[in-house]
Amino acid sequence: MKFNKVLKDIKTYEAGKPIELVVREFGIAAQDVVKLASNENPIGTSPAVQKAIIANADRAHLYPDDSMFELKDALRKKFSVTDENIIIGAGSDQVLEFISRALLDDESSVLMSAVTFAMYEIYAKQMGAKIIRTASYAHKYDEFMEAYKMHKPKIVYICTPNNPTGDATSKTEVLKIIEAIGKESLIVVDGAYMEYAAAKDEKYAISAKDLLAYENVIYLGTFSKAYGLGGMRVGYGIAQTALINELYKMRPPFNISTLSLAAAIEACNDETFVEESITLHQEQIKRYEAFAKENGFAYIESYTNFITYLFDETMDAAKISDALLKRGVIIRNLTSYGLNAIRITIGTQAQNDVFFTHFSEVIV
């Protein structure tokens, strides 16, 4: 059997390790495992959303409303756009996939920062496209422009706030990059963590509406992070109608499940839950900043629901991650991104207590 030649160059995406794996491999009871690896909402799923999922359980035999009218209506109001500006995906990941398939082939290139969301590369490579990265993980205008002029990429990714580093790019800087890039390139502004950045500092707040003036820009958002619906797989893209219409050609029918739709609609109406999640997060992340300062290592100022600790050569991110895993604490080792660093999702107070207890012992 001969597979598509593009597959040779693709590494399978490594997701955060599941709780079940730690239970199986290390014999730790599920309730003692603390998972701070996938940037899920530590509070869980909003009770109102859980109710909506249960209330719709008897409709699981029905295909969902393929027009997704109600969810689009909720998003339309939230972002002050029209429903023709919106495409829904099984996670914003699926929208990323639509974008790659709609634009790329083996003569294209895509431009992204040195360290950013791993799926941009994987979807691009599936299409045989070439990956161009800037030198810095921060999205710097000069670096982006230099690479843009040299390679004329079909897609330019701006992940703000950026994952897995946690830094953000100001709205001014993002607009400056957008203005300078020609209409033949699509600029994807991935705002998976935008709710956290907007709550922290409005300089970094970018709303889909701000970008709708540009025909070659799409804003991506997700219900997986602040909205607490990682397991339901719902995300969205917002752009001018002509672009949305092209992406629609890539969409399989019924790409969101009946229960996921019900959950996302309810989540849109439950902004209090998001506000509470962000308040808890803002309290708890201070402990992580203080811990780094007290213990003399660096961290990246975070605009997300996680923090990235940067280690010098006296500490080994891979070893530390393994030691934590054996103790039932799952975090993300960033060695594969070329950083001697770990990324920790900010948990609840109790989860963070467990993290600090084990982490303090592991780093001595």
Ligand X SMILES: *Cc1c(COP(=O)(O)O)cnc(C)c1O
Scanning 1-9, 86-94, 337-345, 347-355 for contacts with ligand X by CB under 6 A, the matching segment is 86-94
Closest residue to ligand X in the complex (CB) = 91
Contacts of 292 (CB under 8 A, 6+ apart): 298, 299, 309
Evaluate whether 302 touches 285 at the Cβ level (below 8 Å). Answer: yes
**Least CB distance to ligand X at residue 268 (A):** 15
Question: Based on CB atoms, which residue is closest to ligand X, 113 or 352?
Answer: 113
One residue of 52, 112, 159, 218 binding ligand X per CB under 6 A: 159
One residue of 56, 108, 109, 163 binding ligand X per CB under 6 A: 163
Degrees, nearest 5: CA angle 239-240-243: 85
**Chain centre to alpha carbon of residue 203:** 20
Other residues' Cβ atoms within 10 Å of the Cβ of residue 185 = 20
**Least CB distance to ligand X at residue 119 (A):** 7
Question: Based on CB atoms, which residue is closest to ligand X, 28 or 300?
Answer: 300
**Least CB distance to ligand X at residue 235 (A):** 4
One residue of 64, 153, 228, 235 binding ligand X per CB under 6 A: 235
Tell me the C-alpha distance between 219 and 205, whole Å: 12
* Residue list 97-136, contact with ligand X (CB under 6 A): 117
Other residues' Cβ atoms within 10 Å of the Cβ of residue 343 = 28
Does 224 contact ligand X by CB under 6 A? yes
**Least CB distance to ligand X at residue 117 (A):** 4
Does 222 contact ligand X by CB under 6 A? yes
Does 75 contact ligand X by CB under 6 A? no
Closest CA to 276 of 205, 227, 206: 227
Question: Based on CB atoms, which residue is closest to ligand X, 100 or 224?
Answer: 224
Question: Based on CB atoms, which residue is closest to ligand X, 117 or 144?
Answer: 117
Does 192 contact ligand X by CB under 6 A? yes
* Beta strand 341-345 pairing with 332-333: antiparallel
- Binding residue count for ligand X, defined by CB under 6 A: 13
Question: Based on CB atoms, which residue is closest to ligand X, 28 or 95?
Answer: 95
Scanning 26-34, 221-229, 315-323, 346-354 for contacts with ligand X by CB under 6 A, the matching segment is 221-229
Question: Based on CB atoms, which residue is closest to ligand X, 158 or 354?
Answer: 158
Question: Based on CB atoms, which residue is closest to ligand X, 193 or 299?
Answer: 193
**Least CB distance to ligand X at residue 26 (A):** 26
One residue of 97, 190, 195, 266 binding ligand X per CB under 6 A: 190
201: amino acid identity, one letter: D
One residue of 42, 72, 93, 291 binding ligand X per CB under 6 A: 93
**Least CB distance to ligand X at residue 293 (A):** 26
**Least CB distance to ligand X at residue 95 (A):** 8
Chain residues that interact with ligand X, rule: CB under 6 A: 91-93, 117, 159, 163, 190, 192, 222, 224-225, 230, 235
